[in-house]
Amino acid sequence: MAYQKHRILMVSDFFYPNFGGVESHIYYLSQCLLKLGHKVVVMTHAYGNRSGVRYMTGGLKVYYVPWRPFLMQNTLPTFYGTLPIIRTILIREKISLVHGHQAFSTLCHEALMHARTMGYKVVFTDHSLYGFADVGSIHMNKVLQFTLADVSQAICVSHTSKENTVLRSGVPPEKVFVIPNAVDTAMFKPGPERPRGNEIVIVVISRLVYRKGADLLVEVIPEVCHLFPNVRFIVGGDGPKRVRLEEMREKHSLQDRVEMLGAVPHARVRSVLISGHIFLNSSLTEAFCIAILEAASCGLLTVSTRVGGVPEVLPDDMIVLAEPDPGDMVQAIKKAISLLPKIDPQIMHERMKKLYNWHDVAKRTEIVYDRALKCPNQNFLERVSRYLSCGAWAGKLFCLVMIIDFLLWRLVQLLQPTEDIEEVPEFTVSNHQDREMFLNSSEVQSSR
Amino acid sequence: MVEFSITNQRYTYIDDHKWPSEEIDIHHIIVRKSNAKGFIVCVSAFVVLANGLCLFLVKDISISIIFWSFLLSAILVKLMFWKSVVKESVVVMPAFGVQLETHYRSGRIARRFVPIGKILKPVLLECVTPITCYWSLSLILRGEADLMLVFKELHPPMKMLVPIWKALCIACGSEESSDPSIKNG
């Protein structure tokens, strides 16, 4: 139980109006934390014309800082450029804790670095798995090592992800908590009745990229269509590999058995899911996979590749796992088709409601925040010495980066003193319903 | 005459309300003189001139260097004095309109008049730049997509903007919304 209400700044390059796993995680988590009584502010980069301060449901304040994204949604990494605006936001919103999301977000790393320099407690959530071997991964892991060398607590979305993060960054495992994602079961409900007919519909909704196993689909779909004449596929999503799937359709004349929907907006995902019986996920790597949660919540039986954190997500009777190999996946689909009569979508949905719940995620995150705030304050020299263990060259470089950051912070304090930054007054987001409840509760209290 | 003022390090706010004799309400935001800034600019101009003269006399560079250093120092001085703002005022004339004035150190006054019927609502907004975030007072105008900033050059603090915002709300007849309620001002 939390005794203290926190004021949290969520930082990431990935937020609404983009849709995705990280974005919806930040949004749902923030909404549930607001319901628990904490104050949450989100900071992200500007999306096109959407720049400045916006308010979302429940009074969630979002700062769209006008820094241009330069590569794959990420803000240009200037190391120290974001220091003044982050300092201003931290002071004016009276933030007590900074929560960064996604290792791939440059804004997140910069914000966490500046927040640590200024003495704030910092929590980091990692949402993806990364490799160790290629050049990109090596650099990413070094950056992560830098950020996590001095983080108060870290959160991963599955045990596999925790293992991956600990190995990549060298952070002590005691500092890492595992809090899985959840699904909005109110939105993903099964249809009033299952799709009729003796056809079995297999749904695939994912970005058609290499990472999500689009190449596996190209091999699996014709084989399944050949073996099972009553099976039909619905493929939603877009990406560079779409061309390959279209070619496959042409080559095997499957135009009437494979329907390509193109990019499916998030609001329409449920309507596509409930038109099927089985959900197929062919990802080659996945830290958690919210897509299969959504499918299970809509009452579909899932067939997935056994990669990353996927085996941890659903109970064994709701999912059929296969190796990321076409032959094995075809066998798994065969098994799923035979299991189909035993599945009741409503029962599945009820079970999902009990298993996954964003309010539960928020409560667990609250515990992590409480722990983070209890971490002892360390002085500057002690903190800088932690970076020395990051590597022979890297350690010294990181120390230098932090020392420069500290000096720049002092300079910014001189140029824009703390007294000049006004704190934002508290607003209560009024709602007629809330006001009634408030009036009723105050009447009840006064009558006691 | 009712006068009310708030001061901080950079600005002084004065509410000049000649009531009950006149209905007009004038709000001034006056920039407090920063001697340090003027001193630095004069010193830099002097250094530039001295440098130019030195280069000409000692190193035998052509006389055009003096011309360029004069030009540079003139630009510095101009930026400091010509464009710098002494005061910004808001003259609220109920049932008639609002006049927004900017007084420069050179004596120039820039005025904008907004008829009362054109103002839909005055709003306090947070402006986010790549470096900082500050409060500003703006007018939403009927039939126009852009907001009109009340204070074009200056960024006065919230405690000075609130009384002006309240006066503008009363003048244009829009109700100050009681919700969202402000817990601490």
The CATH code that applies to domain A200-356 is: 3.40.50.2000
Q: Are B160 and B84 in contact (CB under 8 A)?
A: no
Q: What is the pLDDT of residue B98?
A: 93
Q: Are A394 and A401 in contact (CB under 8 A)?
A: no
When the pLDDT of each residue in chain A is averaged and rounded to a whole number, the result is 89
Model confidence, pTM: 0.86
CB contact under 8 A, B179 and A420: no
Q: What average pLDDT does this structure show over A296-305? A: 95
Q: What letter does residue A427 receive in the DSSP assignment?
A: B
Give the domain ranges of chain A: 7-182+359-435, 200-356
Q: Are A217 and A330 in contact (CB under 8 A)?
A: no
What is the residue whose two structure tokens read 């080659």? A284
How many A/B residue pairs have CB atoms within 8 Å? 60
Q: What is the pLDDT of residue B178?
A: 42
- Same domain? For B160 and B112 the reply is yes
Task: Tell whether B62 is within 8 A of chain A (Cβ).
Answer: no
Residue A443 phi, psi dihedral angles, 5° rounding: -65, -45
- Same domain? For B47 and B128 the reply is no
What is the CATH T-level fold of the domain A7-182+359-435, as seen in this structure? Rossmann fold (3.40.50)
CB contact under 8 A, A53 and B9: no
**Lowest-confidence range among A120-129, A387-396, B72-81?**
B72-81
Q: What is the pLDDT of residue B184?
A: 37
**Nearest-by-CA chain A residue for B183:** A426
- Cross-strand partners of A242: none
Tokens of A15: 């937020």
- A384-431 pLDDT, tens digit per residue, is 888 888 888 888 889 999 999 999 999 999 988 888 888 888 876 665
| Higher local confidence (pLDDT), A373 or B23 | A373
pLDDT at position A107 over 70: yes
pLDDT at position B131 over 70: yes
Q: What is the pLDDT of residue A156?
A: 95
CB neighbour list of residue B130: distance below 8 Å, 6 or more residues apart? A65, A66, A67, A81, A85
Q: Tell me which of B37, B128, B134 to substitute to probe the interface with A (most A C-beta atoms closer than 10 Å).
A: B128
CB contact under 8 A, A426 and B184: yes
- Same domain? For B50 and B102 the reply is no
Instruction: Output the domain CATH number for residue B150.
Output: 2.30.29
- Same domain? For B149 and B105 the reply is yes
- Same domain? For B95 and B53 the reply is no
Within a domain: B137: yes
Q: What is the pLDDT of residue A424?
A: 87
- Percent of chain A residues topping a pLDDT of 90: 69
Q: What is the pLDDT of residue A159?
A: 94
d(CA A82, nearest CA chain B) in Å? 7
* pLDDT band of B176, cuts 50, 70, 90: low
CB neighbour list of residue A420: distance below 8 Å, 6 or more residues apart? B9, B157
- Same domain? For B135 and B123 the reply is yes
Q: What letter does residue B16 receive in the DSSP assignment?
A: E
- Same domain? For B72 and B87 the reply is no
- Same domain? For B75 and B132 the reply is no
- From chain A, pick out residues whose CB is under 8 angstroms from the CB of B159: 422
Task: Tell whether B36 is within 8 A of chain A (Cβ).
Answer: no
- A196-214 pLDDT, tens digit per residue, is 778 999 999 998 999 899 9
- A378-390 pLDDT, tens digit per residue, is 888 888 888 888 8
Q: What is the pLDDT of residue A448?
A: 39
pLDDT at position A441 over 60: no
pLDDT at position B21 over 90: no
Q: What average pLDDT does this structure show over A348-362? A: 94
Within a domain: B122: yes
pLDDT at position B1 over 70: no
| Higher local confidence (pLDDT), B49 or A319 | A319
Q: Are A178 and A157 in contact (CB under 8 A)?
A: yes
- Same domain? For B135 and B151 the reply is yes
Question: Shortest CB distance from B127 goes to which of A52, A89, A424?
Answer: A52
0.95 surpassed by complex ipTM: no
Residue B162 phi, psi dihedral angles, 5° rounding: -60, -50
Q: Are A178 and A326 in contact (CB under 8 A)?
A: no
- Same domain? For B40 and B20 the reply is no
- Rounded CA-CA distance A324/A327 in Å is 9
When the pLDDT of each residue in chain B is averaged and rounded to a whole number, the result is 82
Domain enclosing residue B76, as ranges: 35-81
| Higher local confidence (pLDDT), B170 or A435 | B170
